[in-house]
Amino acid sequence: MNSENVQTKWGQFISLIIVFFFWGFVGSANDILIPVFKKVFTLSQVQSQLVAWAFYVAYFVGSIIFFLISLKVDVLQKFGYKKTLSAGLLLSAVGSFLFVPAATMQSFPFFLTALFTVGLGFSIQQIVANPLAIKMGSPSTGAHRLTLAGGINSFGTTIGAILLGIALFGMGNDKKTTLSLEDIKLPFIILGIAFIVVAIFMNFSKIENPTKIEKTIITEGTDKFRILDYPQLYLGMLGIFIYVGTEVTIISNLPALLHTAEFGRILEDAISPFIALYWGSLMIGRWNGGVNVFNTSNLVNTALKFIVPAIAFGVIIGANVFAQHDVSSFYIYPIWILLFIGVSFVGGKNAGKTLMLFGLSGLLMMFAGLVCTDTEIAKFFFISGGLFLSIMWPSIFDLAIAGLGKNTGKASSFLIMMILGGGVIPLIQGSICDIDLTSPNGIFGISWTHFSYVIPLLGFAYLGWYGFYCPKILKRQGINHVETEGGGH
């Protein structure tokens, strides 16, 4: 029995990380759909950002519903991990199949309803899958499994944009620049079938359900819990809101930026390599952060900090080459990767220091992108935001739940609700982009769409400040500073 507790249950875990892959795949697919819907439905930029809004608001609504139900009945205790996770997958399958009538009716609100349904299923999956990954083996290796799952999630975001780009526009000599909504049907039918297959597989797997002892630990003494008693938590909730919002808004508005005259009027069919590079930047960062969880010598650890990002960048280039995209302009990007590696060495495993340095670095990247007159270089400053966001999630989480003790479970659920930021902040940036429609001369010599990247700049500023200030809060409470293991949302 003891050896089973120590060893990771790889058969179960591999089936679970497919779910993490789906989250990433659909997340980046949204970024392909935004410029497509904008063109087909003749939307303003802020209207096109309703795609992100529908998807990420579903996380918030799903978490609220799950939380309210759990006040009456403990869902995981009553139905277990397998059935709850399978239900989430089936709900996402329903959302995927709704893309078919939405495309037939050519209805943008129907598409948003379909995306919201997929996201609602994802919220259930997210609530179950994160703790389940930790429980699939020894608690001491739980962080390893979450980091690996986070890396798979990032792999899904990286290739999702490329695969959907191929499915919608084709590749090579057969590539087309115009799109019919009919072309959206098949990829989402396949996705829906995949959700059902994984749900069935999950239901018949040997995943164990939570023990009754856990219920006592979770519910005991939490009735006096008040968020305002914990500044690290409510400031951390704002941190998660801004972090997810910044992560999403940079890429959700990138197609509009690249479509401006300043940035070369790049069309919808040519956008997927840039989306893949952005999400690939998060993959590079998370794979790099994952090196910290392995017990290696300093020399090996240092070597891996360079080797692993190089491999991840190779995956991005390889996937784009396979799709017959011209990525010759990407070969300058390792300059930003080396800068990221340097900052990660300085931050080490210290959550506050890492968050502060990465927040400051991201702020400088956004500022450089705003003032750089060479737009060929400026776009990479904006895309590099993905590198500096990549390992912020565990840092914010570690700081926000520090000292919460028996209330850690409730605090975590409030933090997950703040994924809502991914639906709100892109709308703010999108509304700034739309000023170009009435004031085409721009501001400070650049277009309003270009200037809109002041929004992620402000996001990085808050995240850097939280990394600086939160350890001071914890110190006043007599709490030792927390280490971060690397990983990601």
**Band (143; pLDDT cuts 50, 70, 90):** low
Percentage of the chain exceeding pLDDT 90: 32
**Band (485; pLDDT cuts 50, 70, 90):** very low
Residue 317 CA, distance from chain mean position: 21
Alpha-carbon distance values, 35 to 91, 265, 358 (Å): 26, 13, 29
pLDDT tens sequence across 186-199: 888 988 998 898 88
Q: What's the whole-number average pLDDT of the chain?
A: 82
Mean pLDDT of 52-77: 82
CA distance 391 to 236: 15
Mean pLDDT of 232-246: 94
CA distance 149 to 488: 9
More confident residue, 37 or 206: 37
pLDDT tens sequence across 337-393: 999 999 988 887 778 888 999 999 999 999 999 999 898 899 999 999 999 998 888
Alpha-carbon distance values, 118 to 31, 121, 150 (Å): 15, 5, 20
Alpha-carbon distance values, 24 to 150, 151, 320, 409 (Å): 9, 10, 17, 24
Alpha-carbon distance values, 246 to 249, 353, 460 (Å): 5, 20, 8
More confident residue, 146 or 469: 469
Most confident stretch, 114-118, 270-274, 285-289, 412-416: 114-118
Return all residues near 354 (Cβ < 8 A) that are at least 6 apart: 344, 347, 348, 391, 395, 467, 484
Q: What is the pLDDT of residue 457?
A: 98
Structure tokens at 48: 């096109």
pLDDT tens sequence across 209-218: 655 444 444 4
Q: Would you give the DSSP letter of residue 267?
A: -
**Band (424; pLDDT cuts 50, 70, 90):** very high
CA distance 106 to 109: 9
pLDDT at 247 over 60: yes
In the block, tokens 């639906």 appear at 423
Mean pLDDT of 71-92: 81
Alpha helices in 265-297 (DSSP H): 272-290
Q: What is the pLDDT of residue 322?
A: 85
- Of 87-101, 170-184, 286-300, 446-460, the one with minimum mean pLDDT is 170-184
Residue type, 371: V
